[in-house]
Amino acid sequence: MINIVIIEDNKYMREGWKTILDFEQDLCVIAEYESCEDAFEDTQLAKANVVLLDIQLPGIHGTEGVKIIRDKFPHLSVMMVTIHDDDERIFKALKNGAIGYLSKKISPDDLIDAVHIAQNGGSPMSPNIAKKVISSFQASTDVDIELSDAEVRILTLLAEGYSYKGISKEVFLSVDGVRYHIRNIYNKLEVSNKSEAVAKALRDKLI
Amino acid sequence: MINIVIIEDNKYMREGWKTILDFEQDLCVIAEYESCEDAFEDTQLAKANVVLLDIQLPGIHGTEGVKIIRDKFPHLSVMMVTIHDDDERIFKALKNGAIGYLSKKISPDDLIDAVHIAQNGGSPMSPNIAKKVISSFQASTDVDIELSDAEVRILTLLAEGYSYKGISKEVFLSVDGVRYHIRNIYNKLEVSNKSEAVAKALRDKLI
DNA sequence: CTTAGAACTGCCTGAATAGGTGGTTACTTT
DNA sequence: AAAGTAACCACCTATTCAGGCAGTTCTAAG
């Protein structure tokens, strides 16, 4: 039996989900709340397996709520449900421990599937949201910067905090040899110091 | 009509998919190949909308193949198909431009859905693979480092290549005031220079 | 054969950085 | 009222870094 808690401020949405989910043999909605605060005052979260959590809530925002829930009840699978597919919120919620992210226009069958997937250790995600998540993986550069092996090696060492002297020992070059590569890196990356180069390299997944 | 190309070395797999997909009114498998090389020698890729691409292939590996395909035909949606859900390959393929990632044990209905999702700009992903992708988002630190607002601000400026002097102007502090915070950042992050601090902050999603 | 360029090495200069130490102020805790 | 602490400011010193300029060696292309 999978116990479900719903946190959602819209009454009709809540009732709709409850009806859909409770109709299933192996699913049981054990509580519904209008806000995270209400949920924390009660004791049902401790008995749940899966939480359906709205993003836009009065009081504590869903993206923060998931963090608190995961802190208190690490065993819980929290699935976010949303009307807008706003990038920033998606990433914040996922970063804070949400394991799935559904669009509110999900079909009843898909909702039921999603709960099962969550319980089985998978991550249910609506395709358009999955798209955004995947896009964030892809190298963000439109013009793709090609670094040589030596440059990647040196940049990696820079990101690990090595000084030029330290790097020169690692790669068996003179300090000026290292500097030669670093100059080229700065040109390619259009930066002018170590930190910016490292930041750009990491963000563009160059190292 | 959605035109599909299949690149997969296992003949039975290929035939199975073709049968499933061609049975649909709006789907048409326009070519099948055993390897990326075969596909590149032919001309059908140019006419396709969706490619089903096996990961483990003789010759050019799927993770590399997707890069070449996306370079030559940027309009194409490439979906990876795999038996193993090996982290490294998943991330490499996604980074190289795959828009979806399916397990080979996918059901016929789900395969058909996946093609439709891909064509509509979404990302079909098997739940267990989505799980891995999402996990990689979550803060990797077991002990979570808490930075103050000032520290985050300064660290962000460091990542943008600002000097201490530049930062001091931005945040209305003296250079030594900035240094005070940076020292604290180094302590919390257990690092001893800008680049390493920036790298750690980015990797642990602190900024 | 000459030229061009990539991959270094070397040196100079001024600026930036890291670590150490000490001081002030404001606010909280005991 | 005293002690502690967070948030700054200040100064000293050695090291590190960035930019400019020059030279070498090796390889590939015209």
pLDDT in tens, A153-168: 999 999 999 999 999 9
Write out the H or E segment, with its range, that includes residue B29: strand B27-33
Min Cα distance A131 → chain B (Å) is: 5
| B72 lies within 8 A of chain A by CB | no
Instruction: Give the model's pLDDT for residue B139.
Output: 64
The region, left, alpha or beta by phi > 0 then psi within -120 to 50, assigned to residue B172 is: left
- Distance between the alpha carbon (CA) of B183 and the C1' atom of C20, Å: 12
Closest CB from B99, B192, B194 relative to A195: B194
pLDDT band with cut points at 50, 70 and 90 for residue B92: confident
Min Cα distance A201 → chain B (Å) is: 9
- The average pLDDT across B137-150 equals 77
Protein residue closest to D17, using CA and C1' = A193
Q: Kindly list the residues from chain B whose CB atom is less than 8 angstroms away from the CB atom of residue A115.
A: none
Instruction: Give the model's pLDDT for residue A50.
Output: 97
Q: CB of A187 under 7 A from strand C?
A: no
What are the tens digits of pLDDT across the range A105-153? 999 999 999 999 999 999 999 999 999 999 887 866 656 788 999 999 9
Protein residue closest to D10, using CA and C1' = B176
Q: Which amino acid belongs to residue B137? A: F
**3-state DSSP assignment of residue B192:** coil
Whether B142 has a pLDDT exceeding 60, the answer reads: no
Q: Which two tokens stand for residue B205?
A: 């999603």
Length of chain A: 207
- The average pLDDT across A178-193 equals 96
- Of B43, B30, B93, the closest CA to residue B64 belongs to B93
Whether B95 has a pLDDT exceeding 90, the answer reads: no
Closest CB from A99, A134, A195 relative to B159: A195
Min Cα distance B8 → chain A (Å) is: 23
Asked whether the beta carbons of B48 and B3 are under 8 A apart, the reply is yes
Backbone dihedral angles phi then psi of residue A87, each to the nearest 5 degrees? -50, -50
| A65 lies within 8 A of chain B by CB | no
Q: CB of B120 under 7 A from strand D?
A: no
Between positions 108 and 137 of A, the ones with CB within 8 A of B are 117, 120-128, 130-131, 133-134, 137
Nearest CA in chain A to B206: A95
Whether A7 has a pLDDT exceeding 60, the answer reads: yes
Average the pLDDT over each of B84-98, B106-120, B153-167 and give the range with the smallest value: B84-98
What are the tens digits of pLDDT across the range B56-83? 999 899 998 998 899 899 999 999 999 8
Q: What is the mean pLDDT of chain A?
A: 93
Best mutation target, B123, B191, B204, to test chain A (most A CBs within 10 A): B123
Instruction: Give the model's pLDDT for residue B143.
Output: 66
Instruction: Give the model's pLDDT for residue A205.
Output: 85
Q: Do B194 and A194 touch (CB under 8 A)?
A: yes
Q: CB of A174 under 7 A from strand C?
A: yes
Instruction: Give the model's pLDDT for residue A85.
Output: 81
Q: What is the mean pLDDT of chain B?
A: 93
Q: Which two tokens stand for residue B15?
A: 């035939």
What are the tens digits of pLDDT across the range A58-68? 989 999 899 89
Closest CB from B95, B117, B195 relative to A195: B195
Asked whether the beta carbons of B119 and B50 are under 8 A apart, the reply is yes
Instruction: Give the model's pLDDT for residue B160.
Output: 97
Min Cα distance A166 → chain B (Å) is: 13
Q: Which two tokens stand for residue B105?
A: 């044990």
> Which CA distances in Å does B176 have to A46, B163, B164, B195?
49, 12, 9, 19
- The average pLDDT across B4-23 equals 96
- Distance between the alpha carbon (CA) of B200 and the C1' atom of C19, Å: 21
- The average pLDDT across B188-192 equals 95
d(CA B72, CA B48): 12
d(CA B180, CA B164): 11
Instruction: Give the model's pLDDT for residue B141.
Output: 60
What are the strands of the beta sheet with A27-33, ordered from one edge? A27-33, A2-7, A50-54, A77-82, A100-103
Backbone dihedral angles phi then psi of residue B80, each to the nearest 5 degrees? -80, 150
Backbone dihedral angles phi then psi of residue B45, each to the nearest 5 degrees? -55, -35
Asked whether the beta carbons of A49 and A4 are under 8 A apart, the reply is yes
Can you point out the beta strands (E) in chain A?
2-7, 27-33, 50-54, 77-82, 100-103
